[in-house]
Chains A and B, each alone.
Chain A
Amino acid sequence: MTQFNFGKWFGTRAISILVALIFCFLLDKFMQGADKSYGRFLMSLAGIYVTLAVSLNLINGITGQFSIGHAAFYQIGAYTGAVLAANKFSALAASKPLLWLLLSALFGAIAAGLAGLVVGIPSLRLKGDYLAVVTLGIGEIVTIIAKNQKSLGEAYGLSTAKIESIFLISLLAITCIAVCRNLLKSAHGLAFLAVREDEVASAAMGVNLTRIKVTAFVIGSAFAGAAGALYAHTKAFVSPPDFSMDVSFLILTMVVLGGTGSITGTTIAAVVLFLIPEKMRDLPYVQMGTPLGVAIGIIVAVVLLRKIQESFHGAGSVRLARNIGSVGSGAVVAFIMAKLLVMVPAFQGQINGALFRMPVLAITLVVLMLLRPQGIFGHHEFSWSWVQKLLGKKAPETEVAV
């Protein structure tokens, strides 16, 4: 165990924070300009989804509490920000937009955090999966309230000040990641993981289960609320469908796909799962045979990959070669089948490629559950020693891995 060194601690902290700030600032500068408005919107939403997924990962992945209504807290934050900016703080929002955006995120976080506390305390005290049921209900209740409340714009929605800031959005995402990562590096974080692993044993070791669970739930909800407030101003408009059950499930899928508990995996999954369907909006019309051929190719690849997983026990490099071979065969089959099928008159009809946005999510999830049920990253995290290992260098003796 190395001795704690204040100078080194301060140095690395200061540099990391500075680097993060500069990164967010440059990203913001780079994305300025009227021609980049769509890219800016995509990047903002990607950042917001990273925040949402990583904050849900704190609840579901790290603490092991199954919450399936994360969009409710996202919505509470969004409406809080939107309503405040449209009424009480409209002057501030107009004169000092960035300052207001920061405050708005703060108010959103507080509102959602309080809601998390109110929902969390009763449902997390009980043993069993009450949280899943309750959060499912809360998601609906919040939407219904918004739909029926005149001051919240009812089903139509609510417009509010447009304030775009890639800077704040990326800063929020990085803060959320950093907070979770810090937690996992400390003994406190191990107590959270212990609750996920075994509640009876954790309690026997003196861990206060309710307290840990509620804490995780409130922090996770608060981050979702802050993300909501930023979303409201990015879009300048909030309406109930933006926070429907689908959104909750999309966030949940990001967590599961990335590897429950892995911050790295969740972050990557959030970006990918948000961008895939978004990018697919622009897909051209294709002939029916093409997607069918691709589907057959995917099935071939998955079957081959599973065969290798089940029955191949040889060296890693051979395994890798075979895996690549399987994917390659799948691609070849997809290509040939697509070419062949479009020759059949029945499969020549045109179909809008964008229609495949949602099926692609479902297929990704099914394929992943078949090939890697623990998620892409499993419980693993990104670390520099891991990169060094990957590059073939010998990793330095790590202290105890957390």
Chain B
Amino acid sequence: MSLLKLDQATIKFGGLVAVNSVSFELEKGDLFGLIGPNGAGKTTCFNIITGVYAPTSGKINFDGRDITGTPSNRIAQQGICRTFQNIRLFHSLSSLENVVVGGFLRHKTVLGSALCYLPSAIKETDELKTKALELLELVDLADVANTRSRDLPYGKQRRLEIARALATQPKLLLLDEPAAGMNPQEKMELLQMVKKIRDVLGVTVLLIEHDMKFVMNLCERILVLDHGEEIAQGPPAEIRSNPKVIAAYLGEAV
């Protein structure tokens, strides 16, 4: 059974059909790429999967459950978490605190114990911090654990977003242009990191990326969107030679 299934998902903003009857399935353990020209509807796809918007029509199934129209926070609890194209960190919090917020959704203590500073709340906070530090080590940010996230360079902010999303213990991780603004060296490291997230942590990954070399090297299957519609789906080799994709997006270069 597939982990995520979009069935003719459609969303309209006024007259604009941003995502038009898009269907695809992700198997557990997939490394799936979503590409297409600017304004194709890629981020909007993420937004309907994560409940930022409810689709105008169509169904979304996750892990055997219909999650169409479920609010964002509940979807995160069910195991989908994401990063944002335009980085959305909690700017005045430290790196570590950002990741702790990610881990908070599985908290067990009640608010009252935090207000009274009871041992249960302190212990839980300590545990969350320990776990957060492990994740920071995974994305190679342990040295800036106490730095305010606003003060981090761009590439590190992107990695911090990944750590924060991983802290929610997702089954499915959505990455929206994770390599944007990174230099070739950082991109190489990111590629290894995403592989590790899938291979070691067993998290299924769906990612949007404009860097074709990155996507083709990393993803095992790719879906191409144009004007909200699917124009191709398949393994990288097939996508690279698909005439429709070349015309709409890749051009002659790749």
Contact = CB atoms under 8 A, between A and B. Distances in A.
Interface of A is mostly: helix
A197 B104 contact: no
A221 B133 CA distance: 36
B95 to A, nearest CB: 9
Contact of A206 (B100, B123, B168): B168
A205 B116 contact: no
A4 B123 contact: yes
Nearest to A215: B111
Interface stretch (A91-99, A185-193, A347-355): A185-193
Contacts of B104: 187-188, 190-191, 205-207
Nearest to A180: B115
A320 interface: no
A186 B71 contact: no
B124 A204 contact: no
Interface string B161-205: 000110110000000000000000000000000000000000000
Contacts of A187: 100-101, 103-104, 107, 114, 121, 124-125, 128
A183 interface: yes
Interface string A366-402: 0000000000000100000000000000000000111
Contacts of B168: 205-206
A9 interface: yes
A251 interface: no
Interface string A154-194: 00000000000000000000000001001101111111011
A268 B122 CA distance: 28
Given A185-B117, A186-B122, A203-B72, A193 B105 contact: no
Interface string A207-224: 111000001000100000
Interface residues of B, number: 50
B193 to A, nearest CB: 20
Given A193-B90, A205-B168, A209-B73, A182 B117 contact: yes
Contact of B91 (A189, A190, A197, A204): A197
Interface string B81-119: 110100011111110110011111101010100111101
B91 to A, nearest CB: 6
Interface residues of A, number: 35
Contact of A6 (B72, B77, B89, B119): B119
Contacts of B81: 204-206
A202 B72 CA distance: 9
A204 B92 contact: no
B91 A200 contact: no
B101 A194 contact: yes
B107 A188 contact: yes
Given A4-B126, A6-B119, A400-B146, A198 B88 contact: yes
A193 to B, nearest CB: 6
Nearest to A200: B88
10 smallest CB-CB distances across A and B, nearest first, come from: A206-B105, A206-B76, A203-B72, A197-B90, A186-B114, A188-B114, A201-B88, A182-B117, A194-B101, A187-B125
Interface of B: 50-52, 71-73, 76-77, 81-82, 84, 88-94, 96-97, 100-105, 107, 109, 111, 114-117, 119, 121-126, 128-130, 133, 145-146, 164-165, 167-168
Given A203-B51, A204-B84, 8 more contacts: A4-B123, A9-B122, A179-B115, A187-B104, A205-B104, A205-B167, A400-B94, A400-B96
18 contacts: A1-B130, A4-B122, A183-B115, A186-B124, A187-B100, A187-B104, A187-B128, A188-B109, A194-B90, A200-B84, A203-B51, A203-B72, A204-B73, A204-B82, A205-B104, A205-B167, A205-B168, A400-B145
